[in-house]
Amino acid sequence: MNQKRKLIAGNWKMNGSLDANAALLQALREGVGTPACAVAVAVPAPYLAQVQSLADGSPIALAAQDVSQHDSGAFTGEVSAGMLRDFGARYVLVGHSERRQYHGETDAVVAAKAQKALAAGITPIVCVGETLQEREDGQTESVVKRQLAAVIHAVGHCVSELVVAYEPVWAIGTGRTATPEQAQQVHAVLRAQLAAATERADKVPLLYGGSMNAANAAQLLAQPDIDGGLVGGASLKAQDFLQIIAAAQSA
């Protein structure tokens, strides 16, 4: 069984305010103690500076929700990896299903973003996952392997520096969750794919990201190839998020 340190990352999505963020971070700081797992929060870009300050001196790492595939220039509204580094971002989400679905991000764009993050010293959390139709058509494995292969090809020998999050699209924000067995099956496929690409595949945390919550976290995190969670709605509620962190520490 994989014994690497687990990672629990909260994805706030397009939520938050100055007051709400301050209250949430205060509650997390008070409740998290010295966690045995890594903890991060992925916040909207306007709040990076605020949360950097609020999390300073705590074990809570800062993550961004997206990064540009460009370094600088005439790309209005984009945020570069260098800019994220200026605010102390430790992680950045790339290829989240909402970016793929609503912003038309292709596998090639996602791979380019992962490259830019790594070049800036930021760990990309590479999101892969299938839609309900793809799962029903028996395409789950081929879809996630295609999505991950694009990134593996692009980053070359830096594969072991990635974090990979499996997020079945049909289980995001729907209240539906893959069973622990379904999630483990896909995580095992991803682990094997990484093992074929690098001798250090065991270094790569594999996160589950499909409606993980305080009630189901322990069962999911008990699976041999699930090394943590990419948590959506539950990460906006301090007590729920702290319960998931506690589950990761005892898994």
> Would you please indicate which residues are annotated as catalytic (active-site) residues?
96, 167
Measured between alpha carbons, how far is 65 from 103 in angstroms, rounded to an integer? 13
Up-side HSE of residue 119: CA atoms within 13 Å toward CB? 18
113 and 119 in contact (C-beta within 8 Å)? no
Number of H helices, E strands in the chain: 10, 8
The secondary element (H helix, E strand) that includes residue 39 is strand 38-43
The Cα 231–Cα 99 span in angstroms is: 16
